[in-house]
Amino acid sequence: MNKKNYSIFFFIGCFSIFLFVFSGSHLPAITSSFNKLSSQVFYHLNSKERLTQNIVVVRIDDHSLAKINKKWPFPRSLYAEALNILDAQGARAIGFDIVFQGGSESEEEDAIFRKALSSLKGKVILASYLGKTEVSSKLFSGAADVSFVDALEGKDGIVKKIVAVSSQDSFLKFCWAVELSSRYYGLTPQKQAQNIVLGRKTIPLDEAGVLAVNYLLKPKDFKTISFVDLIEGRFPQDFFNEKIVLIGATAEIIHDILLTPLGRMPGVFIQANALVNILNSKYLAVVHPALAMAILFSGLFLLAMIIISFSLIEGLFLCLGVLIVIFWLSIGLKFLGWDISYGALSVSMISFFIFGNLYNYFRFLAVITKIKAEMTIEPFSRLFKLRYLYERLNLETGSFPRKKRWLILAVFNGFSEATKGKNFEFLHSLWAELNSIFLKNGELWAQCGQAAVVGVATKRADLNKLKKELDTLFFEQEVSVQAKIGMLAINSSLNIRELVPLVVDELAKSKEEVIFFDRSRLPDHKGQRDKGEDMVSSLYTDSETKNQDLLKAIEKRIIEESKRQEAYLQFITALVTALESKDPYTEGHSENVCRYSLLLCDLLGLPNKEREKIRIAALLHDLGKIGIPDSVLHKE
């Protein structure tokens, strides 16, 4: 690969890196599809035992809405009843993932609820949203703590993070999940540097105070109970004892269902996953950019080697293999608590593979087109030049190294003698028939000398059938030629440029007429594939060399012709001089005429070319007198 090709792949690589960095925000639908696959596989491989043993979720579901003869939102006395039951069952901490907006229709309902909250002060956390002053905090201030449940959606609409800490009126406030954890452990959360510290636990946050939710569980994995079953006492003994109880809406009609990497999930289960992260110290942090880039560069380098070394189909499978390796690497990193966007990596690498192969394909077409424009064809046989076959084969082998190819050789013993004296029309028709036969048995054919043809086929030819077709043609044309056919499989270890003349020579000398050259029958050669050269350049060089040879031949012919003309002129001049010497009156006449003529040319300023013509004419002006009798020539 030359420097220009490396530059193209460099720019394609830069574009792929750009996609990796920005695909999450600009191509969310594509990247999220890959990321969902990664999250689902991680979920199925992850051990779920013991993760939820301290959590119970009370579902306000469709069953509760149907069974409780009250319209939504439920009277707050029902929640008070639920709190009293949970307290009696020994619940350690209770969280309402319900925002109590404003007062009830009945102040008595609020009073009953406030009383229940007061009896459990320190155990219950109500929900709110940042930036919104909820009436619930005023109604129940002093009776229960209120914390925020803000979930952050990405551009793909998927909730991956929650706000964990916020500063309001110079006071730090912690999110609902952190507050419930603190109630469960009986500890006070502290903000240290960028993170939250809860006893010996450190909850990692980013610079904005946001916690990345590690989705370890789906709703079906939690211990749950319907709200109506709680109210009616249908639950096992010790079901809530020493547990964190989360009460939240799961019914579709309440519209608290969001998108997550594990699919659609009610908001209470998003908070439950965050709580599981804290209780089990299973956090998820974005992988360090240096490691992400190292993985990306490694993948792109492997893909570049695949594009350069393998055919499109093989490269496609190998690219799939690289993506699978990266996929499992991303899963492994998740088990270590590091999150890398498999979607962004996949989009980047797939784009690199596609554009890299497109470049290779269009480059191949461009080179072939240029070759066809510049190449020469044997004028008589209308077959390709042998050098073109070598370079074309070298290019195709380099671009598609795994593709099977066979070299077919045909030698015509006695062809020169059999066609000697045949007219042009006959020979032209014969080669046209030969071409028709060759093209049925291979894609690319070239003439090798006067009586041999070499072809390349992508499928194994029937040599006996080819031999029979050639013999039939020569018989019909009454040309006494012995056709011999050979074939060998092309592989990367063969030096075709060196091997072809040797195989042709061996085929011509062999007594066999059809030979398949396996490794044992191949003539000795270097055994190293010809690296070739730039095909277009080689054809230019070939044409230039041939033109130079032609010019030298023409120049030599001109010199020989000039010498021949000069010798002829000297011979004629000698005859004229001999004729004039017979008569003392005419001796030296032609030379004098030539001398005076040249003087006139000089006076007239005639060019050298005209001067030379006049010199020759002056010397030969008496040429017609040769052989004329003296009686005629003597003037009296």
pLDDT, tens only, 496-505: 888 888 888 8
* Short-list 552, 502, 554, 551, CA closest to 526: 502
Binning pLDDT at 50, 70 and 90, where does residue 574 land? confident
Helix or strand (DSSP H, E) at 197: strand 195-198
Give yes or no: residues 361 and 414 share one domain: no
568 domain residue, yes or no = yes
- What total number of domains does the chain contain? 4
563 domain residue, yes or no = yes
Binning pLDDT at 50, 70 and 90, where does residue 396 land? confident
537 domain residue, yes or no = no
How confident is the model at residue 382, as a pLDDT? 80
The residue written with tokens 């319900």 in the block is 98
Give yes or no: residues 76 and 12 share one domain: no
Binning pLDDT at 50, 70 and 90, where does residue 371 land? low
How confident is the model at residue 398, as a pLDDT? 72
On whether the CB atoms of residues 408 and 461 are closer than 8 A, the answer is: yes
Q: Which residues contact 452 (CB under 8 A, 6 or more apart)?
A: 409, 410, 411, 412, 504, 508
Pairing verdict, β 124-128 and 93-97: parallel
* Poorest-pLDDT segment among 52-61, 89-98, 129-138, 150-159: 129-138
Give yes or no: residues 189 and 66 share one domain: yes
Is the pLDDT higher at 98 or at 309?
Answer: 98
Rounded to the nearest integer, the mean pLDDT of the chain is 82
Identify the domain boundary among 247, 281, 315: 281
Long-range contacts of residues 591-599, Cβ cutoff 8 Å, at least 24 apart:
591/619, 593/618, 593/621, 594/618, 594/619
Binning pLDDT at 50, 70 and 90, where does residue 381 land? confident
Give yes or no: residues 293 and 383 share one domain: no
Counts for the chain of helices (H) and strands (E), in that order: 21, 23
Q: Which two tokens stand for residue 632?
A: 């005629």
Identify the domain boundary among 281, 297, 319: 281
**E strand intervals along 86-136:** 93-97, 124-128
- DSSP for 170-184 reads TEEEE-HHHHHHHHH
- DSSP for 326-389 reads HHHHHHHHHHTTEE--HHHHHHHHHHHHHHHHHHHHHHHHHHHHHHHHH--B-TTT-PBPHHHH
What is the radius of gyration, based on Cα positions, of the chain? 48
CATH number of the domain enclosing 400: 3.30.70.270
Give yes or no: residues 494 and 605 share one domain: no
Give yes or no: residues 609 and 476 share one domain: no
How confident is the model at residue 522, as a pLDDT? 78
pLDDT, tens only, 507-542: 888 889 998 988 777 777 665 445 444 444 554 555
Is the pLDDT higher at 605 or at 372?
Answer: 605
Q: Which residues contact 302 (CB under 8 A, 6 or more apart)?
A: 322
Binning pLDDT at 50, 70 and 90, where does residue 485 land? very high
Binning pLDDT at 50, 70 and 90, where does residue 10 land? low
Give yes or no: residues 241 and 103 share one domain: yes
Give yes or no: residues 437 and 304 share one domain: no
Is the pLDDT higher at 595 or at 179?
Answer: 179
Residue-number span of the structural domain to which 448 is assigned: 376-532
Binning pLDDT at 50, 70 and 90, where does residue 589 land? confident
The mean per-residue pLDDT over the stretch 280-290 comes to 86
pLDDT, tens only, 535-546: 445 545 555 555
* Short-list 291, 292, 273, CA closest to 283: 273
269 domain residue, yes or no = yes
Q: How far apart are CA 120 and CA 404, in angstroms?
A: 80
Give yes or no: residues 174 and 62 share one domain: yes
pLDDT, tens only, 255-277: 889 999 899 999 999 999 999 99
543 domain residue, yes or no = no
What percentage of the chain exceeds 90 in pLDDT? 27
- 4 has a pLDDT exceeding 60: no
The mean per-residue pLDDT over the stretch 351-357 comes to 85
Q: Residue 527: is it exposed, middle or buried by C-beta count within 10 angstroms (0-12/13-18/19+)?
A: exposed
- 135 has a pLDDT exceeding 50: no
- 401 has a pLDDT exceeding 60: yes
- 229 has a pLDDT exceeding 60: yes
Binning pLDDT at 50, 70 and 90, where does residue 630 land? low
The mean per-residue pLDDT over the stretch 486-495 comes to 84
The mean per-residue pLDDT over the stretch 141-158 comes to 84
Identify the domain boundary among 355, 374, 393: 374
Q: How far apart are CA 576 and CA 558, in angstroms?
A: 27
On whether the CB atoms of residues 184 and 93 are closer than 8 A, the answer is: yes
Is the pLDDT higher at 368 or at 1?
Answer: 368
On whether the CB atoms of residues 129 and 149 are closer than 8 A, the answer is: yes
545 domain residue, yes or no = no
Is the pLDDT higher at 415 or at 30?
Answer: 415
- 248 has a pLDDT exceeding 90: yes
Binning pLDDT at 50, 70 and 90, where does residue 628 land? low
Give yes or no: residues 277 and 294 share one domain: no
Binning pLDDT at 50, 70 and 90, where does residue 210 land? very high
- 133 has a pLDDT exceeding 60: no
- 585 has a pLDDT exceeding 70: no
Give yes or no: residues 154 and 229 share one domain: yes
Q: Which residues contact 317 (CB under 8 A, 6 or more apart)?
A: none
Q: Which two tokens stand for residue 630?
A: 């003296």
How confident is the model at residue 218, as a pLDDT? 92
Give yes or no: residues 390 and 320 share one domain: no
DSSP symbol at 519:
G
DSSP symbol at 282:
-
How confident is the model at residue 469, as a pLDDT? 92
Residues in the chain: 636
544 domain residue, yes or no = no
